[in-house]
Every structure is written in C-alpha cells, then in structure tokens.
Amino acid sequence: MDNNVEERLLTSEVENASLKERVWIESKKIWRVGFAGIIARVTQFGIIVVTQSFIGHINELDLAAYAIVQTIGVRFVNGILLGMASATETLCGQAFGAGQHHMMGIYLQRSWIVDFVTATILLPVFIFATPIFKLLGEEEDIATEAGHISLWFIPFIYNFVFGLTIQMYLQAQSKNMVIAWLSAFSFCFHVLLSWIFVSKLSLGIPGAMGALIISSWLVVIGEFVYILGGWCPLSWKGFTLAAFHDIFPVVKLSISSGIMLALELWYYAILVLVAGYVTDAEVAISAFSICLNINAWEFMIALGFLGASCVRVSNELGSGNAEAAKFSMKVTLVTSVSISLFFSILCLLFGRNLAYLFTSEDEVAAEVSSLSALLALTILFNGIQPVLTGIAIGAGLQTMVAYVNLFCYYVIGVPIGVLLGYVADLKVKGIWIGLICGVVAQTLVLGFLILRVDWNEQVKKASDRLNRWLLKPEEESNHSSNSA
C-alpha cells in the first residue's frame, strides 16, 4: 500500500478512535520508524564493541589505547557528524510531512557536502593523536599506542559522512528497514571476519581494525545501491547542482545540531579522559570504557526512539498537526522508559559477567562490577533524555538544546565528577556520579522547556522554513547535472 494512502487511512482512524486505539495506532507509527533504527544502531555500534572485545583479549595496553581513541577521538568526531546529520533528519522529516518529497534528495546531498568537509577538517584529531594525548596528560605508553591505533580510524570515520545522513533521509520516509538488514548482515560478517583475522590468522591490531573498516563500509555501499537503484523514486531525482543552492542556511542548522549532540557525546569522552589521571590508569580507563560501551550499546536503542520521536514530531509539524505531535511525544516517552527499565534491571543482575566479554583481567572485571549500580541508573535515564532530544530536533530547537547541554554537562556534571573523583577520593565512582548529575539536570531542564513549547508556533516555523528553502521541480532541473 502507498505510504500516503496508508497515512490518510491511519489519520481517519485516529479521529474516531478511543485513547487505547490511538496509543496502538501511534505505537505502530513509532515502531515502523524506531524498530529499524534500533536494529541499525545496535548492530552498527556493535561492530565497534566487537572490535574492542577482540582487542581486549590481545593485551591490556591495546585495550586501554583503543578505548581512549574510540571513546575520545571517535566520539569527538562522531558527535559532531551525528549532530550535523540531525539537520538532515529535521529537514527531510518536515519536507516529507509537507509532501515536498523531491527536496529530500537535495537536503541529503547538501548534508554530504557539509559533513565531508567537516570530517576532513577534523582529521588532525587522528593524525596527531599521540601528542594530543600526551599534552592532555595521559601515560606515555597509552598515548603512544593510541597514536598507532588512531590512524586506522581515519577510513572508518568517513563512513559516518554518508551512513548517518542516509539513515536519517530514509528514516524520514519510513524506508529505513533496508538499513536494519544491511547493518545486521554487516555485524554478523564483522564477527566472522574479526575471528578469522585476529583469532585464526593472529593479525593483531591490523586484523581487528581492518575488519572494522571493511564491515562499516559494507553498510554504506549497500545504502548507495538502494538509493541509486531506484527504490526512492519520489525523493531521489539524481545528483544535482541544486545541492549547492541555499547551502549556508543548512550549514547554520547543521552547526547548531552538531554542537547540540557533540556536547553530549564529548561529555562522556571527557570523563574517560579524567579517569586516565587516577591511580592505575590502565585499569580505570579500561573499566570505565567498558561500562560506557555497555551503556552506549543500550543507548543505541534509545537513539532509535530519538529518531522515531524526531521523525514523528517533524512529520506532524510539517503537515500542520500540533496535537498529533504532542501525543506522539507522550507515547514514545513511555515506550522508551519501559525498555530502559528492563535493561537497567539486567545490568544490576549480570554486571560482573558482562565485563568478561571485553577483558580477561580480573582486576578490570572487578572494577566494572563495582560500577554496575551506577551503570544501571545511567541506562534508566537513557530512556528519557534521548526522546526529549529527539522531540527538540523534530521541532528544530537544536540551538536551545545546545545551550542546555553546555550548562548541564560542563557547568554541573564535569565539576561534580572532578570534585567527587579527586577531592572526595571516590575515583571512577565519583566521576560517574558527576556524569549522572549532569544527565539528571539536562533531563529536568529539557522536560521543562518542552512543556512550555508553543506547538502551534512550531507548526508555523516549520512551514516558513520549508517554504523559504523550497525549490520547485522545474527550478531544481535548472540546477541539475546529469542524473545518477
């Protein structure tokens, strides 16, 4: 059934439905977007986690070096690119809701240009990783090994430029199930390839990182085949010079989005960096990064709901329905919190056992076990905060969220973590308590701000934005080069 026809039928159902039926209808819409996004994000991040697991069984130094590059360097760049790609999510979601399908492909190409240039500007983070980490005060051997590993991440980060933006483009039109299948296949392939390269051929770090690069780019190649192969006929009209038209407003929105999510992802990275200054840094960094990766893996589920809330809110705002946007927000929030509560309980029950998936060192596993209660609490908040962020993205409120993240994380969270970790001598536990304080503050402030949002005003702003950047099909053709 055509998506537009089905959408009209669902809208007709909602008008005459009871509350229970409305929740069921909205849940179907959320899961149509969210399920594929969850599978895609869990498996794509799983590739990074599997790589860490194989490296962790090589030796403790390599594990600490990989952890610090992945948690600080990769998270630094990914935070910017993911945030900038969320501008694609806002624009494509609102364009789809307004029926401006042909603009979606143009927005996608504009995001490729902006993100590719940004990724290239950020390359020094990996090229000069050793002196950067030494300057930040990390131990000599960890910084040196991190410099070797970081070079392997350069081809890996460029998959973010295309992978993140295409995922949001497809997600906005409920066509992201293909990404879920590609990601799931890539994850299984990566486990097999890593086992062959590391365990059987004993290729060590080159084998583990080579498998990471190959597996991550498989998804991007598959996505290009899907788009260029004609499976998005309404939204993809081929490569066009129209992508360079009105690019600076998109850059502005992308920068706001990039700052918003980057501040959030860097927050965790900075706390890992701080953990590197405690006694026995290798154990501290390894344990903290293992906990953060477990948290981040579950956070991929929350990001699925972030994407779902963003798409549903932006679609409804684009179609002029403020009440539907608010109702979707409530259903998504309840669903996400319920799932995070389930995983939080699992973490409390099996905290120590999870550590042995990433390390053979009893000392590291013991440290992970001691952090399991804090990890469980953090996972619980994963069910709330990302959904609120997704709602803000869908409404185009990235700049406001950036200010909230800056204040809550860096004025509240980091200072509390440093004080508890070093002054109160709670070490890694103190650092993590500071992390939670920042997340709690952010959740409360975002909740307060969203409650005060005038959704009818957001409908008007979405309409103004789309009309201002709209190119009619005949205008687009004047800017076009040969179609792909």
Q: Could you give the CA distance from residue 420 to residue 428 in angstroms, rounded to a whole number? A: 9
Residues of 111-147 as b/e, b for ≥16 C-beta within 10 angstroms?
A: bbebbeebbeeeeebbeebbebbbeeebbeebbbbbb
Inform me whether the pLDDT recorded for 202 exceeds 70: yes
List pLDDT tens digits, range 356-401: 777 777 787 887 888 888 889 988 888 888 888 877 766 667 778 7
**How many whole angstroms separate alpha carbon 336 and alpha carbon 301?**
8
Q: 216-229 pLDDT, tens per residue?
A: 999 999 999 999 99
Judged against a pLDDT cut of 70, whether residue 120 lies above it is answered with yes
The reported pLDDT for the residue numbered 126 is: 95
Nearest to 308 by CA among 39, 3, 6, 7: 39
| Separation CA 291–CA 436 (nearest Å) | 13
243, pLDDT greater than 70: yes
Residue with tokens 């929740």: 23
Residue 142 pLDDT level (bands cut at 50, 70, 90): confident
pLDDT at 45 over 90: no
pLDDT band at 1 (very low <50, low <70, confident <90, very high): very low
Mean pLDDT is highest, among 177-191, 252-266, 308-322, for 177-191
Q: What is the pLDDT of residue 482?
A: 45
The answer to whether residue 159 scores a pLDDT higher than 70 is yes
- Identify the residue whose tokens are 């908040």: 381
Give the amino acid at 392: A
| pLDDT tens column, 425-438 | 887 788 889 889 98
Instruction: Calculate what percentage of the chain has a pLDDT beyond 70.
Output: 86
pLDDT of residue 227: 94
Higher pLDDT, 130 or 301: 130
How many Cβ atoms are within 10 Å of 384's Cβ, its own excluded? 21
Q: What is the DSSP letter of 201?
A: S
Between the alpha carbon of residue 71 and those of residues 162, 288, 313, the distances in Å are 21, 10, 31
Residue with tokens 């360097």: 73
Higher pLDDT, 443 or 459: 443
- What single string gives the DSSP state of each residue in 49-87? HHHHHHHHTT-HHHHHHHHHIIIIIIHHHHHHHHHHHHH
What integer is the mean pLDDT of 156-185? 89
DSSP string computed for 283-308? HHHHHHHHHHHHHHHHHHHHHHHHHH
pTM for this prediction: 0.72
CA 375 to each of CA 159, 209, 304, 379: distance values in angstroms, whole numbers, following the listed order: 29, 28, 20, 6
> Which residues fall within 8 angstroms of residue 103, CB to CB, at 6 or more apart?
91, 95, 466, 469, 470, 471
